[in-house]
Structure 1
Amino acid sequence: MNFWQRIFRLKKKQTQVNATGRLNAIKMAKKTGTLVLVAPATGQLRPIKESHDEHYQAANGIMLIPNGGNLMLPVSGIVSESTTEKLMITDGLDQSVTMSLVGQGEAARLARYSAGQQLHAGDVVGTASQKILAQSTEAVRIYVVWSEHQVPKVRFGSVYAGQNIWQSEDDFNDKQADD
């Protein structure tokens, strides 16, 4: 395969990820190693600056208020630290990404993983109780924080678990041109 064929294939893969829903984006990330960012749960995705937790307001990341159900890993990577409330991984760009649960301990929890274990975007890594979350709108908040680089552009609002939320530069520029 020559140089130009490789370039056009990579562009085609990224276009496919942008155009697909949850299952296809996750499948492509696992098979091809294409970087994707998926919603960690079904709920409301918000900018992290809207957080009531002072510790996270200045962080580089996103916040999600889950409705319950499975919790999914937002990016692929290698586990560096794992507890029932926090999962830290190193992604494909050598960035440290931390997924944290804040709120009522019995409402949600993450599975524990060994350091060095490889996980993929969309892997189920925990659960959240729909019964407890129905009683309080913000019983649990999920934070996804990048320690070294800026946060990718994402689509805020209602999301479902595993949905590709990464907004490519082309999508972002097209949206700004429409406004």
Structure 2
Amino acid sequence: MTQKAINYGIVLYQLGISQDMVEEIKALVDGSPELVYALADPVVSHADKRKVVDRVFDRFGNKDLVNFMKTLCDNDGFDMIHDIFDEYEKYAREQQDILSATLYYVTPPTDKQKAGIENFLMKEYGSKTVQLSMVEKKELIGGFVIRTGDREYDRSILGRYKSLRQKLVMR
């Protein structure tokens, strides 16, 4: 992720564009690769890109959004629109004090175990809520791995095996 995409994502959030509207725009962009190609193409003039932006994004009824998209095209940044959406979502979660984490498991946790993991993460990071994605990963053999941001909590059999192996190799 480039700093430019991060900055654009933050600005999009600060403009007050709702998450629902961002989801609609994301669906529009995902459903029309020709649109992304045309607005990111350096051969297409900025004036033509601005006309396309007016026609396509004016239906959302938000002048700030239209101006944002025009600025993005003027600065040749439309090719990173998906990164901008990702950063918008990340920044929105931060502002709403929502921690995003992924739980990798072999067998699905019970509701009680899931609540315990969420409580642990809320205490550890001081968040109000946790958005927990769950991914089945049979190669862990047993246990689980929690990944959030740049931290990982590995309580899997595979992780313990690798740790033990590393210790034995170091001797």
- Higher relative contact order structure (alpha carbons within 8 Å, sequence separation ≥ 6): 1
Name the TM-score, length of structure 2 as normaliser.
0.22
Name the TM-score, length of structure 1 as normaliser.
0.22
Rg larger in structure: 2
In terms of fraction of residues, the more helix-rich structure is 2
In terms of fraction of residues, the more strand-rich structure is 1
